[in-house]
Structure 1
Amino acid sequence: MTQIFAHRGYSAAFAENTMSAFLAAEKVGADGLELDVQLTRDGEAVVIHDEKLDRTTSGTGFVKDHTYKEIRSFNANKKSSKKEPIPSLTEVLEWLKTTKLVCNIELKNGIFPYEGMEEKVIGLVQKYGLSDRIIISSFNHYSIVNCFRMAPEIETAPLFLESIYMPWIYSQSIRAKGIHPKHSTLPDHIITATMENGIAVRPYTVNREADMRRLFNINCTAFITDDPANAVRIKRKYEKRP
C-alpha cells in the first residue's frame, strides 16, 4: 500500500523541519519523513529548507554564513513564542534510530554547491546504521550521482519540477532507485510504467484529497504531504476495502 511521507514533518500543523513536526508525523502514523539539509559556515549539517533563515526562523541571512552555534540560537518556530531550535541532522538521525520511519533527506545544494555535503550526510547515515532506511534526493542530479558512487547501498532519487520522458530510463541511467516528481506533472500511466520498470515513484507535495485518492487508486509507491494525519485517515479507508 502507498506509503505516506510527511513533508518537512507534519508541517500543516507544526513548524516545518523541527523535531516537533517530526515527532508529530510519527505519532499520526506516517511511514516516513521528508526533510532538507543545508551546511553551516563551520560545516555542520542542519535541517532547514530555505538557503536563507528569514522565512522560517528568527534569524536573518544565509545559513551558510552562520556558525552552528549561531544557527542553534535562532527560533525555528518563528510564528510562536515557544522556542524551537533548528535541528542538526545528527539529532534527527539519533531519534530516527528509535523509530521505524523511512527518511528522505533532500540535499539543498542546487543554489549553493556546499562542498563536502554529500560526504557529511552519507557519513552520518552510515554512523547511525540507517543506510537501508534513507533516500537521498536533490534537484542537483550530479550530487545524487556522487552519492551513489560513494555509497551505492543508499537509495537515491532525483527530484523533478517538470515532466520527463520515460523517467525510468533516466533513473536507471543514473542508478537511482526512485523518482520524486511534482505530483501534477506525471499522468497515471507514466507512474505505473515507472513502477513496473522497478523504479519507486514518490510525488510531492500532495495535499488535496482528490490527488491523494488518485495515487492510492494506482497504488503509487508513496507520496509526500504536508498533512500526514489526513493522508493516513484516507489510506485507512482504502485498507478496509475488501
Structure 2
Amino acid sequence: MRPHVLAHRGASHEHAEHTLGAYLAALEEGADGFECDVRLTADGHLVCVHDRTLRRVASNRGIVSTMDLAELADLDVAAWKHPWADLDDERPERVEEHGKVLTLRTLFEVAADFERTIEIAVETKHPTRFGGLVEKRLGELLAEFGWHRTGSPVRVMSFSNTALHRVERVAPGVRVVQLMREAAYWPMLRRTIGRDWIMGPGIEVLREHPRLAGRIGQAGHEIHVWTVNTEDDVRLCQAAGVTTLISDRPGYVRGLLDDDGGAAR
C-alpha cells in the first residue's frame, strides 16, 4: 500500500512555507494532505507559523504570541523565499493573498472545499505562553468543522506528550502523533503514549537507527516521518513500513511512489 504524502508547510521546497500559495501548489502536485505548525496570536487566532518570531520569514522582530491577527495580516511572509523574483520577467505574477500569514481556519476551509479528502497534520508548538489554551482553541475549531470525531481528516502532532494528552480530552476522536527527535526517547515514550497513537520520528532518526521502525511497529504503532525529500529517504521509509511521508517536495515524492505502481488507498 502506497504511503500517503503530506506537504510539509505546503510545497515549501519551491514556495514560501505556510503560505496559501504553498498549499495550493501542493494540491496541484497531488499531495494527499497538508502539514502545518500552529501558534496562537494575542487575540486568540491560530496561525500557521513555525518560529516563535517573524524574523526569518518577514524580517520582523515581532513575537507571534504578542501580536494581534490584524498586525500579522499586514506582513509579507513570502518575499524572503525568492528575493529577486521582481527581476525575473518570466516568473508568474505574485498573488498578494498567497503570501500573507495564513490562519488555520483558512487552511481548513481550503481542505474542506476541495474535491477530494485532504488530510491535515497540525503540529502545536510548545513551550508557549498560552500553554493548554492552544489545544483548547484547536479543539473548538475542529468542532466547528465537525472534525473532532472519529474519522476526522485531521491528526494533531506535537513533541509535547502533555499537549497530546490535552488533545485527547478536547477532541477524543482525533488521532495524535508523538513527534520524536532522538531514538533514545522511545523507551520512555512507549510507556506514556496511548495504544493507538502514531509515532513521528524525524528522518535522521531512522537513518541513524535502522532498527527503530521495527521496534515501534512491533509495539503496534503506525509511523509518520518528517521531512522526506530524497529518493534514498523515500526508499528507507518504504522498507520500514512508514505509512505517511511528510515532505517539502510532495509532487516529487508522489512521483517516486507512483512510478513504483503502488496503489493509493
Q: Structure 1 length normalisation: TM-score?
A: 0.90
Say if 2:68 is the partner of 1:67: yes
Aligned to 1:220: 242
Residues 29 and 64 (structure 1), Cα distance of their counterparts in 2 relative to 1, 3 Å cut: same
- Tell me which of 193, 197, 208 is aligned to 1:174: 193
Aligned to 1:93: 108
RMSD: 2.1
Q: CA deviation at 1:115?
A: 4.7
Say if 2:37 is the partner of 1:36: yes
Question: Which is greater in Rg?
Answer: 2
Q: Which amino acid aligns with 1:93?
A: F
Instruction: Summarize deviations over 1:101-140 as a string: whole Å, max 9, x none.
Output: 1111000122544451111011111211234111111112
- Tell me which of 211, 226, 232 is aligned to 1:210: 232
Aligned to 2:260: 238
CA distance in structure 1 between the partners assigned to 2:155 and 2:259 by the alignment: 28
Aligned to 2:23: 22
CA distance in structure 2 between the partners assigned to 1:65 and 1:78 by the alignment: 23
CA distance in structure 2 between the partners assigned to 1:126 and 1:171 by the alignment: 29
Matches within 5 A, 1:143-162: 143-162=163-182
Aligned to 1:184: 204
Aligned to 1:102: 119
| Number of aligned positions between the proteins | 240
- Unmatched 5+ stretches in structure 1: none
CA distance in structure 2 between the partners assigned to 1:219 and 1:238 by the alignment: 15
- Secondary structure in 1 aligned to 2:233? helix
CA distance in structure 2 between the partners assigned to 1:57 and 1:65 by the alignment: 16
- Unmatched 5+ stretches in structure 2: 87-93
- Secondary structure in 1 aligned to 2:14? coil
Residues 112 and 203 (structure 1), Cα distance of their counterparts in 2 relative to 1, 3 Å cut: farther
Aligned to 1:117: 134
Residues 23 and 165 (structure 1), Cα distance of their counterparts in 2 relative to 1, 3 Å cut: same
Q: Which amino acid aligns with 2:260?
A: Y
Q: CA deviation at 1:17?
A: 0.4
Q: Is the CA contact (8 Å cut-off) linking 1:171 and 1:179 kept in structure 2?
A: no
Say if 2:155 is the partner of 1:135: yes
Q: Which amino acid aligns with 1:235?
A: L
CA distance in structure 2 between the partners assigned to 1:77 and 1:118 by the alignment: 27
Q: CA deviation at 1:7?
A: 0.6
Deviates more, 1:11-20 or 1:231-240: 231-240
